[in-house]
Amino acid sequence: MAQLKLAAGHPQGLMTLFFSEMWERFCYYGMRVLLTLYLVKSLLKGDAEASLIYGAYTALIYAAPVLGGRMADQFLGYRYAILLGAVLMAIGEFLILGGSEQFMLFGMGALIVGNGYFKANISTIVGKLYEDGDARRDSGFTIFYIGINIGALLATTVVAFVGETYGFEYGFGLAGLGMLAGLFIFWNGRENYAAAPGLDITEAGMKQVGPLKMYQLISVLSLALIPACYFLISQNEWMTYLLTGLFVLVAASLIRAGIQEGTVWRDRMIALVIFMVINIVFWACFEQAGTSLTLFADRNVSREILGWTMPASMTQFFNPAFIIIFGSIFSVMWVKLDKLGKNPSIPMKFALGILQLGAGFLITLVGLQFADEAAMVPLLTLVFLYLLHTTGELFLSPIGLSMVTKLSPKNMAATAMGGWFLSFAIANYAGGLIASLTGGHGDSGDSLGGAASLAKYADVFSNIGMVLVGFAVLIALLNKPLNKLMHGVK
């Protein structure tokens, strides 16, 4: 490891954070890769109910870091917040091993709260390892991002295989052990990132509040959020009202703040809200990977390779694998296109990303032509689908965070970033709603036959694809007005 740090020329702490985050992602994606199949096959949930539970869970996962980051900034410090998050996530994985719906929901609650503390703050420490203006910062985050995708790739291969081959409890247990590995690496390597500012519990966090210090009180109150998450996941219809209300509130506050800053910032805030809506549409459809596409793989995709049958959940590994393969190629491509003056505008990149996402869903119509007598389409159907989804993601996802910082004035950057993450939360819940339309398995436990199931999936996926293609064309037509609203931001 020392040689790697020396060769890379980066601060010592980067590799510690790299492996800590890698194992945390292994834990998170390890649980997520098995979740829908566990709900349907072990807890005997119908497709619609399982999809809504999955959507509510992943929505809260994306919403939690907004609170976790603020608590760390004001009271907990980054190190304590990450340690608290890691412990809660490990506990959450092991709670699921209880095998009942109640244990699962409490476990999901602990994972949500823990992820909020861990995910929000470890990236912050990476940034603080570098001085302002350090040319190595972008490279450091690229290395860190590779760790995220390695963790996702390991989860969608190793945990998926173990969970479906030997039992879901072994998969969840393995994910929990991964989180303990991340916790150990982060604590054991604490001297490597000790120079980063903001690690320690703040002065406000050390203030006495009754018998407890503030950071201790926050830790206890964090445990109280677990049953709140339990309620929101189990009664997930409340999520529709909660997320819609939050989006209206955030969008209104952004536009109102932009108006106060002048015409240019008003227009940029309007553009940001539009991009938030586009982001919701993209990710709501992209996130079918963990729900309807996994169930489609389980029921209607021939997964046999040289006599070995790939577990259905393992088909989710195509996305992180393609990210690792194509990520660096795309980063070089954008630089070269920029030098040639051919780099697409932000609206056109979003349009092209959504176009590829839609084309991926339409691949199912091609697969349908090669279905066998048992109504099973070739595995290549999913390979090409995920390939197009991943290239679409690379057109849209990497520029999102950068775009938010460029479109928002400094005095409202945090609010704008919170709104951007809120769009991911809404997208994940909307993804659950979309997945519930496939309806291949009823609440009574009855399942559609092979041909009927395939016809249903092909119909829903092709409709999604056509809507996305139409939406991409609309964004392309609005390219000039959107660029005008952005006032020179590229």
Give dist(CA 127, CA 137) in Å, integer.
7
Per 3-state DSSP, the chain is made up of helix, strand and coil in percentages (nearest 5) of 80, 5, 15
In sequence order, the β-bridge partners of residue 302 are: 378
Looking at residue 344, what DSSP letter applies? P
Nearest CA-CA partner of 390 in 319, 446, 477: 319
Residue 447 is which amino acid?
Answer: S
DSSP 20-70: HHHHHHHHHHHHHHHHHHHHHHTS---HHHHHHHHHHHHHHHHHHHHHHHH
pLDDT given for residue 3 in this prediction: 36
Tokens for 222, please give them: 């964090």
The answer to whether 404 and 273 have CB atoms below 8 angstroms apart is no
pLDDT given for residue 78 in this prediction: 92
Its sign, for the CA torsion 99, 101, 107, 108, is positive
198-203 long-range contacts, CB within 8 A, separation 24+: 198/72, 198/73, 198/77, 198/78, 198/124, 198/125, 198/128, 199/77, 199/78, 199/79, 199/125, 200/77, 200/79, 200/80, 201/75, 201/76, 201/77, 201/80, 202/74, 202/75, 202/76, 202/77
Tokens for 164, please give them: 């479906």
Strands 208-209 and 304-305 come out as: unpaired
Identical fold at 12-235 and 237-490?
A: yes
Tokens for 476, please give them: 């392309």
Tokens for 394, please give them: 């690379």
Tokens for 408, please give them: 């928002």
pLDDT given for residue 2 in this prediction: 40
Tell me how far apart the terminal alpha carbons of the chain are, to the nearest angstrom: 38
Cβ contacts of 255 within 8 Å, gap of 6 or more: 266, 269, 270, 273
pLDDT given for residue 411 in this prediction: 72
Select from 1.10.10.10, 1.20.1250.20, 1.10.357.10, 2.60.40.3500 the CATH code of 12-235.
Answer: 1.20.1250.20
Measured CA angle at 290 (ends 286, 293), to 5 deg: 75
Burial label for 83, CB within 10 Å (0-12, 13-18, 19+), is middle
Cβ contacts of 152 within 8 Å, gap of 6 or more: 25, 26, 29, 319, 320
Angle between helices 292-300 and 13-41 (to 10 degrees): 60
- pLDDT means over runs of 10, the chain (490 residues): 48 92 96 96 94 96 88 92 96 95 97 92 86 74 85 96 96 96 96 90 92 94 95 93 91 90 92 95 96 95 94 95 88 84 90 97 96 94 97 86 78 78 93 85 54 92 97 96 90
Nearest CA-CA partner of 224 in 310, 148, 113: 113
List the domain boundaries for the chain.
12-235, 237-490
Give dist(CA 128, CA 60) in Å, integer.
27
Architecture of domain 237-490: Up-down Bundle (1.20)
Give dist(CA 109, CA 226) in Å, integer.
4
Phi, psi of 276 (to 5 degrees): -65, -40
Lookup result for tokens 């040289």: 306
What's 409-429 look like in SS3? CHHHHHHHHHHHHHHHHHHHH
